Amino acid sequence: MTASQQDIQAQLAALRNSYLLRLQQDWPEITAQAGQLLDESNTGWQSIAKTLKQRFHTLAGSAGTFGMPQLGQQAKALEMELDAWLNGGGRPETELKQQFLHMVQELSHHTSNKPEASAAPLFQPVDDEFTRKAHIAIFSKDADLGKQLTSAMDPFGHQVDSFQEFDALKAALTSDRPDVLILDMSGNRLPQGMKSLLQQLLIDEQSSMVLFIVGKKESFNHYLTAVRLGAGGYFIKPLDAAAIELRIQRLLTQRQQARFRILIVDDDVMLAQHYQLIIEQAGMEAKVVNDPTKMLIGLQGFQPDVILLDVNMPDCTGPELAQIIRFKDEWLGVPIVYLSSETDSQRQLDALVKAGDDFISKPITDQALAVTVFARAQRARQLAEMMTRDSLTGLLQHATVKERLSDEIAKAKRSKQELIVVMLDLDHFKRVNDQYGHLVGDQVISSLANLLQQKLRKTDVIGRYGGEEFLLALPDCSLQKAKSIIDGIRQSFQAIPFSGQEQSFQCTFSAGLARVDTSQSTDENIDRADQALYQAKHNGRNRVELA
């Protein structure tokens, strides 16, 4: 357990103790209100019943979270009893009142119990260090396949080790586990011991290795075999090295993506703090808003991937708050997950109809909370990526990359830092499509996209502007440094071997760079870089020119 996780565990323990202390302090008032409710001379019993119902509702939702599930269950029973009295329209008979008082007395026996320990979190925090380079191991009896992949991966800076003998692979995997293992199953059965080795490596919680299978056919049975081996990708011969590299880049991007951001809106301060600690322990980032009227401020400053929203809050219900969130187009795609101890299925459905996406019943175990939130956040980010990313390259689409460039220009104006805009275009790309076909042309485009993602910084903006043209924005970078970087990428790209119609060939690109003028519009800055690109084409292609 890391120091930060130990700190979170200590905070969770302190929070549970604080919750128990608060419960013990509040209990005399709760029992006094119960006595007032049963007093025949008290004509305002409905008001007391409503107050008690809310208190038991809160207790039903929080007690289980803090390790006292029986307390929460009994509080829920009392809440439902009070709800029935209020909806019945009259004070209950003496027998029912005595039953209620007995339930309250039974409940008091649990307020001094020590809370149970919470479950360990499922997910570990992500590593903030970012790299686009992977360690790849290849196992194939086909020496040519190993050479082909090694040659294709080399310009991207990946470390590639190729093996033809199982014993050598096993020894290497034991001492130095790769990011990706590419296993060729196209010609032979698995060596004896390979299946058990894979199981050992892939179920290891400390391992992040991904298995790619190379097969000879695309069929359901072949896919099923790969899945049962634990594969995360399946490719057939002749291999599309660009497709494999793109999958590796997506894997690295997912592994190094920014932490998921979770906004928690709940008026129960302690419960919200507990959720926050569990979510942060799972490697995500969490922010708490206890006052529903401050929710919009929390949204703007935090940009959450998921919103956890309590259903029952004073002055504003969760469904009402969800509908306010949906007023803004920018928040339409953010999942809203309701949190409530409400067990009535119709009320749950009514809440979901009003702008919600999922419903979690309190109490929820720590592990279940982490898993549910993580899965929702992951799916939401994947969908957002699909909406803004080019399907072939995974780069930003035309409109999105222009929007991001506009944002970077605004930042550069505020910070007074240099910003470089780059227009980049493949040379003689029509010849590639005409001579080798559009599938090979797509491989060329994908390879350049992968190389750009691998060589540029995480803070750089990369987009497919259209066809074989790319638009880049390099913040906090001088014009000469940008030229050196793009020229290095140009040299790496022209070294990548492509194949089509049993021929090997190389491709090149030309680029134009311009220092952004913050007094000009986005289109004007793009146009200056485009003019430099035109000059590079005019001067012979396969070169970089400055505006």
Task: Match 């979170």 to its residue by tokens.
Answer: 8
- State yes or no: is 330 an active-site residue: no
Rounded to 5°, the CA angle 214-217-220 comes to: 105
Other Cβ atoms closer than 10 A to 433? 15
Distance in Å from the first CA to the final CA of the chain: 53
* Rounded Cα distance, 537 and 530, in Å: 11
Task: From residue 337, give the alpha-carbon distance in Å to each of 54, 357, 418, 470, 534.
Answer: 21, 6, 42, 38, 51
User: Mind giving me the DSSP string for 347-405?
Assistant: HHHHHHHTT-SEEEESS--HHHHHHHHHHHHHHHHHHHHHHHB-TTT-SBPHHHHHHHH
Element of type H or E holding 481: helix 479-494
Query: Could you give the 3-state DSSP secondary structure of residue 53?
Result: helix
> CA 406, 411, 412, 414 torsion: positive or negative?
positive
Give the DSSP letter of residue 519: T
The count of other CB atoms within 10 Å of the CB of residue 228 is: 9
Rg of the chain on CA atoms, in Å: 30
User: Which of 79, 245, 468, 545 is an active site residue?
Assistant: 468
Which active-site residues does the annotation give? 468
